[in-house]
Amino acid sequence: MFDIVRSDPATRELIRIMNDGACDYNSAICEAEMEGETKGRMEEKREAALSMLSDGMSITSVSKYTGLSSSEVQALKSH
């Protein structure tokens, strides 16, 4: 069987295409998971910032502890 795969150009091309498709699929899944994790982390930071602001912390302190920019914290405070 292995000799057929090695000697048949059409079979080799088909295997290459299947492997490329599998790699593309895995890359897309990985990217989607990473994007979801990033969005989730940002939402957690925003929720923490809102809690800190409601407890009376300054925008500077909230920015320092959440990693959000001062303008992002100000925007949260304004809403």
1 pLDDT more than 80: no
Contacts for 40-45 with beta carbons within 8 Å, 24 or more apart?
A: none
Q: Compute the chain's Rg from CA coordinates.
A: 25
The model's pTM is: 0.62
The 10 Å Cβ neighbour count of residue 49 is 23
Amino acid at 78: S
Give the per-residue pLDDT at 7.
73
pLDDT in tens, 24-59: 888 989 998 888 888 999 999 999 999 999 999 999
Q: What is the pLDDT of residues 60-79, one digit of tens each?
A: 999 999 999 999 999 999 88
CA 4 – CA 38 distance, rounded (Å): 46
